[in-house]
Structure 1
Amino acid sequence: MLAALPLVAGIAFAQETNQDGVGMEQQRSIEQGVFGTLPDGSEVALYTLTNAQGARLSVTPYGGIIVALEVPDAEGEFEDVVLGFDRLEDYLSPAYRQVNPYFGALIGRYGNRIAGGEFTLDGKVHALPTNDGDNHLHGGDQGFDRRLWKAETVEDERGVGLILTLTSPDGDQGYPGELQARVRYTLSDDNAVIVDYQATSDATTPVNLTQHSYFNLDGVSGGRADGADILDHRLMINADAFTPVDEGLIPTGELRSVAQTPFDFRESMAIGKRIEADNTQLARGQGYDHNFVLDRDGLDENELVTAARLEAGHSGRVMEVLTTEPGLQFYSGNFLDGSLTGKGGTTYGHRFGLALETQHFPDSPNQPDFPSTLLQSGETYQSQTRYVFSTNSTTDSSETTLN
């Protein structure tokens, strides 16, 4: 977690061909517009990054939210593949807060759940807000997803990017130490969204940052009817074990083999094939809402591993998730209930999108056998996740380069 992270190799501009077959260079771009205004009067921007292939990533500094991500299908048609809203006001609405799905947001200080809303550090009990029953979820009711981050654009050999920074003061949501967080989003010219996380603190504190986008690779508006879901997407997860949960979705501490269970995604399988199986763990999550223990045997903590591969049911789009993290939370959109209307007037019904959240394990501050999430003063937290987009007609997962 503390070592230097890999960089993307130098990227050339893509080429189009005109009617005479002559290559034409497409130019990257970064556009800034106004997304809306917060209740305190603060104006919130929207940054749209376009790569040399024509893919587009739109991010707002409010919550570090990925608002839109347009990538091509097997026919070369671009469509948005992440859930979200056209207006900032919709992210602030009571209806959204009631469901609170964290569409596209940066999560911190601690992604996922902490049991009982507390942890003990150096003999002191730190009380946290309980915003998920008796538990603390995704950094609290005023987590990083509800903060206005500072933003700076960047363009370099890695691609077009946006650097977001945030200061979380000592005691913020109950966490010790002043934390300086830095997240860089990069859209590379080979259609990868790269998320680099970095943080420092002046006192020991748990840190577990993640990205909470919901994906539907068949597109979230336009050609698909309201009510469509992701059950026909095929998913591979590179994990021999998962962390089973109790009734409050807190890990029991066990690392359980996925073999002969509905949690075995080591071979690509339709998500809907076993989601309704008679299984206690599926019943507790009302579907998949579990942490998978990624197979990182022989890898250093700063090396990328392929965590998952997701294939659309119809469009031919493929997304591979690579990460330096030890865990992956697969959430199948179980609590989407049709009460939210997203971009283009699309109703987000049951399991319309899914989240693949790279992370350290839930409740690690209370589970000494789990990988530690403690960041010491003087150290630097670093993590990287890549979402690599392709189509079935052009790319095989074995050809992915982790340079």
Structure 2
Amino acid sequence: MEIKHNSQIITPSEANLFGLMPDGTAIYAYELSNKNGMFLKVITFGATITELKMPLKNGELVDVVLGFDNLESYMQSFHLVSPPYMGATVGRFAGRIHNSTFCLNRQKFILNKNNNENALHGGIIGFSQRVWTVKNVHSGDNPAITLSYTSPAGEENYPGELAVELKYTLSEENELKIEYSAKTSEDTVVNLTHHSYFNLDGHSSNVADQELIINANRMLETSAENIPTGRFLQIENTAFDFLTAKKCPSVIDNTFVLDRKEEFAASLFNKKNNLKMTVYTDQPGVHIYVGGNCFNAIKGKENAHYHPLSGICFETQNYPDAPNNRHFPSAILKKDSVYAHNTTYKFQSI
């Protein structure tokens, strides 16, 4: 089989072959580590994080994200009854778009359907299944990797050619920083997010006893199909009130409104190893989802069995279905404007 290389310069010290796409395109894995021993592994398929290892005070390393050992499993996971989007970059639009349609500049766009009648996480083949190009790898202090993907106009029926850049940085303060930027050739809609399933007790454990805080007083009301109704719900003294720490719920799939932009969005704490993760973002919402289930069809890393309580996602983003709700923050990216999104996952071994 002929191996098709991307345009990036590959050096043995930076990249390892992770697998081949069906057409022979090579998928590479890149590894970064900071001076504290924090370790990140990223593959060019979906700009996906496959490993994130955190040093504990006792010197041990714990892998805090779910993932797979090989490319075949990542590809196969998108054919599960409920694809997990394991560690992937989600786009062109994270969350659901109702009836797979929206209007922009008096023109109606009909997107590909992949969630009943709705478009979810970018469509049938979103950014999570595309091959990204590595533009730069920086080692030394605050190591970083920058990846890019250019989505052609009309891909999944979205308007405009969208050029996206994504930078992962490991700070010396044990932060995973994610910076997105995008430009479009014509007006379009954009909503990018990261879809790692976090588990501070290790990827083969469960999150049931980990303590969750969500710094929000409101969340989006949704229909039975999980489509926003346009209404906001006050959540004080309800089951969705996580202003004070509670154990991770067994079922949650909701978007929380972040009114306090200068403060943290959410946090997770594992009392077994005293590891804490705090989420910061400049986005208007965070979608919280507990899951990771692979339905006994695919094994996770190190032969792990992933189940409905394997991990928790903190999808920092604009609101789902924002293009169809005028009172939601605008998801429109104008031609010659720049989309920018910054999210940080800060880890502390207490």
Taking structure 2 as the reference length, what is the TM-score of the superposition? 0.93
Q: Secondary structure at the match of 2:323?
A: helix
Match of 2:257 among 293, 297, 303: 293
- Give the distance between the partners of 1:179 and 1:335, measured in 2 at CA: 32
Match of 1:347 in 2: 305
Write the deviation string for residues 305-353 of structure 1: whole angstroms up to 9, x where unpaired: 3101100142211111000101000001175544331001110012111
CA contact (8 A) 1:45 1:61 kept: yes
Q: Secondary structure at the match of 1:254?
A: strand
Match of 2:127 among 116, 132, 144: 144
Letter in 1 for 2:253: D
Please, which moves more after superposition, 333-342 or 181-190?
A: 333-342
- Is residue 2:171 matched to residue 1:179? no
- Give the distance between the partners of 1:257 and 1:62, measured in 2 at CA: 39
CA contact (8 A) 1:129 1:141 kept: yes
How far off its partner does 1:123 sit?
A: 1.6
How far off its partner does 1:94 sit?
A: 6.3
Give 5+ residue unaligned stretches, structure 2: 1-12
Match of 2:325 in 1: 367
Taking structure 1 as the reference length, what is the TM-score of the superposition? 0.81
CA contact (8 A) 1:51 1:187 kept: yes
- CA-based RMSD: 1.7
- Give the distance between the partners of 2:150 and 2:278, measured in 1 at CA: 31
Match of 2:30 in 1: 47
- Is residue 2:118 matched to residue 1:135? yes
**Residue pairs, 1:143-222, within 5 angstroms:** 143-155=126-138, 159-221=142-204
Match of 1:316 among 259, 262, 274: 274
Write the deviation string for residues 247-304 of structure 1: whole angstroms up to 9, x where unpaired: 11001111111112111011111114xx5xxxxxxxxxxx2100000122xx5xxxx5
Pair 390,245 (structure 1): closer, same or farther in 2 beyond 3 Å: same
Match of 1:76 among 59, 80, 86: 59
- Is residue 2:220 matched to residue 1:243? yes
- Is residue 2:286 matched to residue 1:328? yes
Q: Secondary structure at the match of 2:302?
A: helix
- Give the distance between the partners of 1:305 and 1:340, measured in 2 at CA: 38
Equivalent pairs: percent with the same residue?
A: 38
Match of 1:224 in 2: none
How far off its partner does 1:96 sit?
A: 5.1
Pair 56,381 (structure 1): closer, same or farther in 2 beyond 3 Å: same
Pair 158,141 (structure 1): closer, same or farther in 2 beyond 3 Å: farther
Write the deviation string for residues 114-134 of structure 1: whole angstroms up to 9, x where unpaired: 000110112211001111111
How far off its partner does 1:74 sit?
A: 4.2
How far off its partner does 1:191 sit?
A: 1.1
Write the deviation string for residues 219-245 of structure 1: whole angstroms up to 9, x where unpaired: 014xxxxxx421111011110100021
- Give the distance between the partners of 1:94 and 1:261, measured in 2 at CA: 34
- Give the distance between the partners of 1:324 and 1:185, measured in 2 at CA: 16
Write the deviation string for residues 348-392 of structure 1: whole angstroms up to 9, x where unpaired: 01211110100000100001111011000110000100011112x
Match of 1:260 among 237, 252, 261: 237
Q: Secondary structure at the match of 1:306?
A: coil
How far off its partner does 1:189 sit?
A: 1.6
CA contact (8 A) 1:305 1:324 kept: no
- Is residue 2:86 matched to residue 1:103? yes
Pair 79,347 (structure 1): closer, same or farther in 2 beyond 3 Å: same
Pair 289,94 (structure 1): closer, same or farther in 2 beyond 3 Å: closer
Greater C-alpha radius of gyration? 1
CA contact (8 A) 2:293 2:306 kept: no
Letter in 2 for 1:230: V
Give 5+ residue unaligned stretches, structure 1: 1-29, 222-227, 276-286, 394-403
Letter in 1 for 2:300: G
Q: Secondary structure at the match of 1:255?
A: strand
Number of corresponding residues: 338
Q: Secondary structure at the match of 1:344?
A: helix
